[in-house]
Amino acid sequence: MILACSDETPTVTDPPPQVEPRLELISTANIQVDEPSGLCFSIDNKSLWTVSDRTRKVYKVDFNGNVLETLAYTGNDLEGIAVDPGDSTIWVAEENLSQIVQLDTLGNELQRIDVTGAAGNSGLEGITINTANGHFFLLKEKNPGVLIELDHEFNLLTYKRITFAFDFSGIYYESQNQHLWIVSDQNEKVYKCDLTGSVLTEYPIDVDKAEGIAVDFDNARVYVVSDSYEKLYLFSIKD
């Protein structure tokens, strides 16, 4: 049996071009808070909470940066903020005191917890809560940078040194994929990480003094707040 040979040259299809993941800037807004530091969504996701380095107060703001509410609490050196989905209370990070403080919705102090291994002026910079189990993730800024995990009774679970950036200035737990989103002021980048602090994706951002981050993954939105420029940045996730 004789097999016929084809003279046709097979067609080679070029692979589709690889698109680099990025955060695309959508808008910026002036935020009516002096030196904002830390960011999270309100319990109904219709507004944001932030804290002020300068006034040492806690503020609820809308997505245009307008102040909606100021809580009664006056802190020492506020750097991070998170809302507990279980009871709607608010947790703030006190950097110099190396403490996290629980507030009710009016800003009355309920309790404060000492955090071992996070003291100093380069201490606690961020706080977020794992909505699946109530664990706390805390961020130490630098010298060294550390990711700390506490259980819901404040027992230390992990204390991991992280070195993928020069400093770490904000953190947010994203429940849809169970990722941690971490922002670095000095590197001007956002890092998507797993729950151990290992980097999955990094996104450059053109934001000076980025000090807080909140992620709405369902709508592919990332909010970043700048301390020195007192601005709220909205980005679209392009993966």
Domain boundaries, the chain: 22-238
Please determine, looking at this structure, whether the domain spanning 22-238 carries the CATH number 3.30.1360.170: no
**pLDDT for the residue 29:** 98
**pLDDT for the residue 175:** 96
Return d(Cα 71, Cα 108) in angstroms, integer. 8
DSSP 167-217: ---EEEEETTTTEEEEEETTTTEEEEE-TTS-EEEEEE---TTEEEEEEEG
Structure tokens at 127: 């706080």
The mean pLDDT values, 10 residues at a time, for the chain of 239 residues are: 50 60 97 97 97 96 98 97 96 96 98 90 93 97 96 96 97 97 97 98 96 97 96 96
Q: What's the gap between Cα 235 and its chain centre?
A: 13
Is the Cβ–Cβ distance between 128 and 149 less than 8 Å? no
Is the Cβ–Cβ distance between 197 and 160 less than 8 Å? yes
**pLDDT for the residue 239:** 84
Q: Which of 81, 69, 73, 76 is nearest to 110 (CA)?
A: 73
